[in-house]
Every structure is written in structure tokens, then in C-alpha cells.
Chains A and B, each alone.
Chain A
């Protein structure tokens, strides 16, 4: 079955540690996205990538980093510089010219 996988579903880290969230898709989609969702709120874009080896900052990129070495993979690193990292993180992908985005199940990160 084609789809987007994110792992792990729940992640706990101590303050000051970097953590990397995984996102893999086998839909052959060109574009991939990382969003953050806080309780009771909508989505905010962190980073997006249109093609391999290229990515752009979204609205709230500070404290985050990404890489896009393969079409299928778009990992997100939450660095210690991110002031409020506890959130629900969602990865999505879309065909380059299509507007429907397909989302993964999300990773809930808790930093204490």
C-alpha cells in the first residue's frame, strides 16, 4: 500500500537534546512538507521541499532543520534552539502540481 509513514508515534526528550523525526513516503510525490500543530490550533508550516536536495523555510523554521537527500525521505530535526518544541508534528507530501496533500499519522513530541 502506498502512503506516508512517520515514526515514532510518540517521542519523549529532555530539554537541550536534538531529536530527529522520520518521514518516509512511497507515493512517488515530488513535494514534501513539515507542519506543526499545537492543541486546538491549525497547522503551521515549518519547512517544505519541492525536489531532492532542495528545501525552503516555512513560517516557523527557527530551531528546526531538514534534509532531502532522497525523494522518499524528508527527516526533521528539532534542535535545542527551538524554544517550545512540544507539539504534534505532521509530515505531508503532494505531487508537484497537484494541490491535494497527503498526511502521515503524525509524531507527538514531548520535551521536558
Chain B
């Protein structure tokens, strides 16, 4: 799995967009970008993933640069409940019949301020 670099912490005002960056300059052609988050003392939660096109779901948007060396997770209207550690993971998706572990780095602590 490719190495990722994220800022250790960020603040965001409630109701504003939170933009969380991730650098993955060694990403290879078949590796996807995944985002999870972990609220304090809870299990991690899957957010979104993508290969090279921008992706959007009910939780967030994922913007991947054209060279795929970095990406940004966007929470369009952050709420206090979005305060969590956000993890960017780059990896090859599962092949048929196999199971794979997730390797989390240290992530970004996002604090949404009232």
C-alpha cells in the first residue's frame, strides 16, 4: 500500500466546508484512495473511495488530482458531530476471494468549532 501524508490537525467552523488534504505521491496505477473516520472511542466508519474520478456520496465528496498524487475529502457543511480523526488510505482493492486488512496511519484530527 502506498504511503500517505496528512496534516495532524485542522479546525473548521460549524456549517462551513471542511477540506481535508492527503498526499500520496507514490500511488500506483491500480491503487484506490479510501477515506475513513473515527469518532473518539468508537469504531472507524467508511466514508468514500475513488480511483481517479471525483466521487460524491451522502456523506462527502472526494477530489483526486489529475496526476493522482493528492486528494481532498470535502465535508460540505460540517457539524459538531463530524469532529473525528480522518484517515486517508491508498491501496489496491480486493481481488476475488481474498480479504484484506486496513492499515491506518495517524490521520487528521478535525475539530468542528461552534
**Interface of B: prevailing SS:** loop
- Total interface residues on B, using CB and 8 Å? 25
The 8 Å CB contact of B98, one of A33, A43, A50, A101, is A50
**In the complex, which residues of chain B have a beta carbon less than 8 angstroms from the beta carbon of A96?**
94, 97-99
The verdict on B105 contacting chain A, using a C-beta distance below 8 Å, is: yes
| Binary CB contact string for chain B from 88 to 113 against chain A (1 if under 8 A, 0 otherwise) | 00010110111111111111000000
- Total interface residues on A, using CB and 8 Å? 32
- Minimum Cβ distance to chain A for residue B21 (Å): 18
Counting residue pairs across A and B whose Cβ atoms lie within 8 Å, the total is 72
Q: Is the CB of B99 within 8 A of A48?
A: yes
Q: How far is the CA of A79 from the CA of B63 in the complex (A)?
A: 44
Q: Is the CB of B49 within 8 A of A43?
A: no
Interface residue ranges, A against B (CB under 8 Å): 4, 30-31, 33, 35, 40-43, 45, 48-50, 58-59, 88, 90-92, 94, 96-106, 108
- Minimum Cβ distance to chain B for residue A107 (Å): 10
Q: How far is the CA of A49 from the CA of B44 in the complex (A)?
A: 19
Q: Is the CB of B103 within 8 A of A43?
A: yes
The verdict on B86 contacting chain A, using a C-beta distance below 8 Å, is: no
Q: Is the CB of A99 within 8 A of B41?
A: no
**In the complex, which residues of chain A have a beta carbon less than 8 angstroms from the beta carbon of B91?**
99
